[in-house]
Chains A and B, each alone.
Chain A
Amino acid sequence: MSNVPQELRYTKSHEWISLNDDGSVTVGITDHAQHLLGDLVFVELPEIGDTYTEGDDCAVVESVKAASDTYCPLDGEIIAHNEALSDKPELINQDPYGEGWIFKLKPDDSGAYDALMDADAYNELIAEED
């Protein structure tokens, strides 16, 4: 059974989003996603300062078997990326909601986070997929 923390928000494309005190959000891929992908061996991070609209592909995570795009969950600007993933992409397998975070985004609309899917809805989504 996949771990789906209650306090996070989610996308249909299996990213998780957490709201930081300064209004920025942190983004990664869910436990369910990392399990399906298997051992991760490469992550292509978005550049700091780049801006994206919701649904843009902005990062790539690659496991031994497959490459997969990661989509930007909200309109905004990249303000940080997780440099540690360059040497240790397996952090996403080991700790998808912690050390395996991928990037931080400053949303254009400070209220957009609240409209994202909550944990209950995401649990339903992955139950349907299984």
Chain B
Amino acid sequence: MMQILMQRLIQTEFQQYNDDSEYMNKRTPLYDMHVAAGAQMVDFGGWDMPLNYGSQIEEHHQVRRDAGMFDVSHMTVVDLHGDKVRPFLQKLLANDVARLKSAGKALYSCMLNEEGYVLDDLIVYYMNDSWFRLVVNSATREKDLAWIAIQSSAFDLEIKERNDLTMIAVQGPNARSKTHQALGEQGEGLDDLGVFYMREVDTDLAVARTGYTGEEGYEIMLPVGQASTLWAALLEAGVKPCGLGARDTLRLEAGMNLYGSDMDESVTPLESGLDWTVAWEPQERNFIGRQALEKQRDAGVVHKLVGLVLQARGVLRNHQKLIMDGLQVGEITSGSFSPTLGKSIAFARIKAGMNDKCKVEIRGRLLAAEIVKPPFVRNGKARI
């Protein structure tokens, strides 16, 4: 049984942690605290990260019902400084940073190549007119940094990867009040921080009202040396640690894409449910990938990303095939079990024009699934 289990775990990006391995994984500043808390550690893109601390379903419910926290120190924080940083980002990103008008405001965007394919998805924060901050995925770090360096050559920017910072996400209906408590004086005044805004509350201590769960909460960037102190204060305030397992089911329920599963360099945002992140206006903004995207848009997009709910018992998994009238019409990009709905849910890339229902092939059998529009869950409530 276990050989097969291992294969599946590897296929789904989580490689079992192995003490005998010759390579040494990167550890976050919170590694010792995870081990002390009994976390099951896994290799996640070269990082030793907590998969769960016991039950990932309990951790999932903890975030939907109260407050949970995630070590997301593997994420890459990049600061861009320079007078031309805004025009540079208007070229680099498919979404338009012209939408960022007040300090601290954040924007979600794809970064595309010339063919319109997705190099990465990221959040960009507007700090001030000569300083923007990007948070990009860890698995794409090297590729992203190289791409940004090449594309920015004419813009005279200083590109600074912030290895000195670490990141903790606190999510759930009670996440904000418990974070304020844990931050003490530094948390004063955060009540009026707007949705999708960041504020520096101390030197290099930035609190952003963003997240990857569909709940209220913060993503906190702070100096590496302060991470374990804040983690302990959050524990003290009643925030429970949650692993990557719960993070994945939470983001799936929330209808949020995972780079590498739901989109990559073989698809465009228009095929990935991310049309809303492409700023077509103003027409003269010539962002990288624009021409290719316009061409695809005008020709008609052949595939789309949809949500699926399995009608029968079972579990939808990545790469299972969608079948209609004996023909394959799509494939699951992220499949799992939804602890909130008590059913299996998924994202799937499917031929445009398919609505309502389809069949999914699971171990040779065809099971009925309903096609829905994500999100499945927002702010603790079922949306489908």
Residues in chain A within 8 A of chain B (CB atoms): 13-15, 29, 33, 36-39, 41-42, 44, 60, 62, 64-71, 86, 93, 129
Pick from B2, B245, B336: contact of A33, CB below 8 A: B2
Interface string of B323-357 (1 = CB under 8 A from A): 00000000000001101000010000000000000
Pick from B3, B40, B52, B315: contact of A42, CB below 8 A: B315
A64 engages B56 (CB within 8 Å):
yes
Q: A93 CA to B58 CA in the complex, in Å?
A: 13
B2 engages A66 (CB within 8 Å):
no
> B residues 60-111 with Cβ under 8 Å of A?
none
Residue of B nearest to A93 (CB): B55
B151 proximal to A (CB < 8 A):
no
B337 engages A64 (CB within 8 Å):
yes
Q: A32 CA to B336 CA in the complex, in Å?
A: 23
Q: Least Cβ distance of B15 to chain A in Å?
A: 12
A selection of 12 A-B contacts at a CB cut-off of 8 Å is A29-B1, A38-B51, A38-B52, A38-B245, A39-B57, A64-B336, A66-B9, A67-B317, A68-B1, A68-B2, A68-B4, A93-B55
Residue of A nearest to B244 (CB): A65
Residue of A nearest to B1 (CB): A13
Q: Least Cβ distance of B311 to chain A in Å?
A: 14
B314 proximal to A (CB < 8 A):
yes
B5 engages A39 (CB within 8 Å):
no
B337 engages A71 (CB within 8 Å):
no
Q: A93 CA to B55 CA in the complex, in Å?
A: 10
Q: A71 CA to B336 CA in the complex, in Å?
A: 23
14 extra interface residue pairs, beta carbon distance < 8 Å, beyond A41-B337, A69-B4, A71-B1? A13-B2, A29-B1, A38-B51, A38-B52, A41-B344, A44-B363, A60-B363, A62-B315, A65-B56, A67-B315, A67-B317, A68-B4, A69-B1, A86-B313
